[in-house]
Structure 1
Amino acid sequence: MTVPAAEPATRFDPNAVARAFVEARRAARALPGFPGPLPAGLAQGYEAQEAAIRLWPDTVAGWKVGRIPEDLQAELGAARVMGPVFAGNVWLADPARPTPLPVIPGGFSAVEAEYVFRLGADAPEGKADWTPEEALALVEDMLAGVELAGSPLSTINVLGPKVVASDFGNNAGLVVGPPIPGWRERPDAVPSCEAYVDGKLAGRGSPQSIPGGPAASLAFLLGACAGRGRPLKAGQMVTTGAASGIHDIEAGQSARIVFGDVAEIRCEAVPATPKDQGGSTDDHRSRPD
């Protein structure tokens, strides 16, 4: 008796997508393509992201915010896309030595200069509309930082924001540098940033490179997280956008991110290794008493 071959899935399955991405990330293994039909929109991408957060055995220590290209914003009904940053993937920059950045061979990896907010207060549950001024009232510090964008899927950015949303917002980690002094009193004095890969200038930017500025990114995130039942918490970090651009990096390459005379963050891309299995942890999702 001949057993008919299984037919390929024709519907987007957020749980199957989440499992595929989580298993590939934990195994440090590249994916040959998107695991199944593409999400129809950002909402389906975030369904997969939520399922993956439940599978990932770590605490959500913060969030990344990325910009959606202008030509896709009307179609997707959004100007920004978000993803979680996990506690085990937050590294403190060491002035004495480069920070190792684990990248999946054959996947996607890039470095981005980031203006990072550290929250000093919890966001109230249920508040979905935020102005940039209201958002800044929750902030304790602005820090210099570097986002490691990364995914097992090499084409994640080519496939677009819906796919980016489905895989942790294309985030693989955050390097946290020192606080930027006087950022609140003198926002015009916040230093510009430059990103170098293997010693060559890859991009430069400033807070003005982010549409609406970093506070607009935070205001978006506060509303989006409230809508997902994940109000932001004191101590969480928020990367506000790729101020210098997105700069591909491979294992063996180095990066240097400079914020004027405030910070110089050095990184070195290394091959990712498989992670040990473990249980899930609290991820700051709001729960009823």
Structure 2
Amino acid sequence: MTTAKEIAARLAAARRTRTALADFPGDVPTTLEDAYAIQRAGIALRGEAAIAGWKVGRIPPDMAARLGEDRFIGPVYCDDVVLAPARGEAVFALFDGGSAAFEAEVAVTLGEVPDDTAPATPEQARAWVVAAHIAVEVAGSPVATLPALKALGSIPDQGNNNGQIIGARLPLDALDDPDTLSCTTRIDGVEIARAAASALPGGPMAALAFAARRVAAIGMRLRAGQFVSTGAITGVHAVRAGQRCEADFGRWGTITCRATCS
């Protein structure tokens, strides 16, 4: 049986060399504990200081009932964070032969976070936020079959994160009424979905509170200056090289990306 460290090393090597993997490189975890053990081993290879923030993803209801959690987290590294240009397109980087998805999100930047964040409520978490932005998670992995493995496959591989695109700043009071944070997602000019941030269970602040608890559970903590990307508002949309993707937040701005293989 492959160990957590061995799987983490194989995933890290595939990301570093931009090499696609036909299948998960080892035994797919069957529990959250095993999945996060691999993620934690991967973080050890990069170092905690390299983490710019965390992404929050959703666990499908059938799997959530079995696992006891309806969300999951993954680290976003400093080298993978870019600012959306005021005009033109951002680069949405894909692994050639891997898997990729476009996700429109709200990213919140943290000020001072208390040490005792594990039992945080959404209301407590709101007090940590010093900035908010429209954002796009560049979801992706060198593992071609990762979408079929769902959360237990995604968690080990950086939570299926391949970068973060940070867009226009939001007024903080918009977080208090997530119905106002509406987004329309388009791919190649065709509307794929539209929804408000209130569609996320409990809204973005519930995702932030979850991130604090989950990061603590793996022996780490959220830190001032880090961000948390709070979940895919309109869903997880598969993309391929050459496609043009838009996250249109209306009056709050639009992030436009071109999917390319690096």
TM-score band by shorter chain is: over 0.9
Aligned counterpart in structure 2 of residue 50 of structure 1, from 11, 18, 40: 40
- Structure-to-structure mapping, 1:1-289, within 5 angstroms: 11-56=1-46, 59-121=50-112, 123-184=113-174, 187=177, 190-272=180-262
Contact 1:142/1:183, CA 8 A, preserved across alignment? no
Q: Distance in 1 between matches of 2:5 and 2:175?
A: 46
Structure 1's unaligned 5+ residue stretches are 1-10, 273-289
How well do the aligned residues superpose, as a CA RMSD in angstroms?
1.6
User: Deviation string for 1:62-119 (max 9, x for gaps)?
Assistant: 0000111111112112111110001111110102221112110111111111011111
TM-score relative to the length of structure 1: 0.86
183-192 or 212-221, larger mean C-alpha shift: 183-192
Contact 2:215/2:221, CA 8 A, preserved across alignment? yes
- Shift in CA distance, 25/188, structure 1 to aligned 2, threshold 3 Å: closer
Q: Distance in 1 between matches of 2:178 and 2:198?
A: 9
The alignment partner of 2:251 has SS state of coil
Query: Amino acid of the residue matched to residue 216 of structure 2?
Result: A
The answer for the alignment partner of 1:7 in structure 2 is none
Q: Distance in 1 between matches of 2:184 and 2:108?
A: 19
Question: Structure 1 residue runs of 4+, over 6 Å off?
Answer: none
Q: CA deviation at 1:181?
A: 2.1
Query: Amino acid of the residue matched to residue 149 of structure 1?
Result: A
Q: CA deviation at 1:134?
A: 0.3
Q: Distance in 2 between matches of 1:144 and 1:107?
A: 26
- Shift in CA distance, 118/149, structure 1 to aligned 2, threshold 3 Å: same
Greater fraction of residues in helix: 2
Q: Distance in 2 between matches of 1:101 and 1:259?
A: 18
The alignment partner of 1:269 has SS state of strand
Q: CA deviation at 1:20?
A: 0.9
Q: Distance in 1 between matches of 2:128 and 2:70?
A: 22
Query: Amino acid of the residue matched to residue 91 of structure 1?
Result: V
Q: CA deviation at 1:248?
A: 1.2
Contact 2:131/2:172, CA 8 A, preserved across alignment? no
Structure 2's unaligned 5+ residue stretches are none
User: Deviation string for 1:231-250 (max 9, x for gaps)?
Assistant: 11111111111101111111
TM-score relative to the length of structure 2: 0.95
